[in-house]
Amino acid sequence: MNQQHGVVIDCARRYCSVDVLTAVIDELAAGKGDFLQLHFSDNEGYGIASDYLALNSGETNPDYLTQQEVTGLIHYANDRNIQVIPDFDVPAHSKYWLERHQELYPQHVIQTDFDETVVDYFGNEAAVAAVKQMIDDITALFQQRGLQRLVIGADEVPGSGSYQQDYIHFINTIADYVTEQGYTPAIWNDGVTTDGLKSLAPNVEILYWQQPEQGLTADEFLSSQRAVYNYNFYTAAFLPNVQRSEQAVHEQASYIKNHHRLTRFCHHDDPYHAAAASNIAGSAMTFWNEEAAGLSDEELLLQLVPLIRAFLQTARQ
């Protein structure tokens, strides 16, 4: 299997300029990485232009990347053989765009009773239609040569365990639509149960970040013969913030080099669980920016770059 390795940048919780993202792409290219995954949708924000959400200013702004900036970023990345992967997130982690949707389309109620962050995944046709409209914006914007993938989230969904059938039906409906647009759908692992895995669409890829208590192991996903990526939350995730000293970043880089391996998955009782399978499709280093608001772009890159380099050095070991 041709394994793919990359970096996830959270530009939903903290705006990331084109300059920051091109610097990340340069590091990926230098380290023989394969993709930049843009996590642009979360409770705190929506980091790219969207006609459906009326986020369509043509001017550079501190809230989201314009359509021109996204397409320019894709061209820059593709010229360096780096794929840019859109990372949307439903049904949970959707508070920001749900609130905006309510303002723009008050006639359609698409939020669950669980809380204000979750799209109604219980057969709500208006909710499905809204998500499809969002995906139309995304797939039109991210068209590029080569492998086409789209992360549709599915993580940390309230009620997913108790209402697994409804949850999987919603995910399959969205995944089928993504497939129709020419993209391969991917989800995070934590919401899927044993029964859910049996009915999950076979082309849905798994981004395995950590095992929930009593949840499925990486081995169980791997044995289902679907593509599984290692996004180990223990060894390959980082939250930049103003408290991180240069020494702390250096120590984290050393830790990654010493402990992160493609075959080591994060189980709840063992963050270094060794899995042996031929269908580990690749891996990624994730940067979550909920604590990064106080950092300048330069300060942010001083924390990102050493860790990207450390991760890429170990990714194929």
CATH code of the domain covering residue 249: 3.20.20.80
Residue with tokens 């709840």: 268
Global confidence as pTM: 0.97
Q: Rounded to whole angstroms, how far apart are CA atoms 268 and 114? A: 26
pLDDT at residue 111, rounded to an integer: 97
pLDDT at residue 1, rounded to an integer: 64
Helices 18-30 + 297-315 axis angle, to 10: 20
Token pair of 156 as six digits? 């940390």
Q: Rounded to whole angstroms, how far apart are CA atoms 282 and 7? A: 11
Task: Give the domain range for residue 157.
Answer: 4-315
Q: What does DSSP assign to residue 167?
A: H
- Tens of pLDDT, residue by residue, the chain (317 residues): 689 999 999 999 999 999 999 999 999 999 999 999 999 999 999 999 999 999 999 999 999 999 999 999 999 999 999 999 999 999 999 999 999 999 999 999 999 999 999 999 999 999 999 999 999 999 999 999 877 999 999 999 999 999 999 999 999 999 999 999 999 999 999 999 999 999 999 999 999 999 999 899 999 999 998 999 999 999 999 999 999 999 999 999 999 999 999 999 999 999 999 998 778 999 999 999 999 999 999 999 999 999 999 999 999 88
Q: Rounded to whole angstroms, how far apart are CA atoms 26 and 41? A: 24
Q: How many CA atoms within 13 Å lie on the side-chain side of 106?
A: 1
Instruction: Specify the number of domains making up the chain.
Output: 1
Alpha carbon 248 to its chain centroid, in Å, reads: 25
pLDDT at residue 110, rounded to an integer: 98
Pick from 310, 195, 176: which is nearest to 252 by CA?
310
Q: Rounded to whole angstroms, how far apart are CA atoms 317 and 313? A: 8
In a 10 Å sphere around its CB, with 0-12 CB exposed, 13-18 middle and 19+ buried, how is residue 6 labelled? buried
Query: What pLDDT digit, counting tens, does each position of 212-261 carry?
Result: 998 999 999 999 989 999 999 999 999 999 999 999 999 999 999 999 99
Query: What pLDDT digit, counting tens, does each position of 128-168 carry?
Result: 999 999 999 999 999 998 779 999 999 999 999 999 999 99
What DSSP letter does each residue of 120-149 carry, written as one string?
Answer: --SS-HHHHHHHHHHHHHHHHHS--SS--E
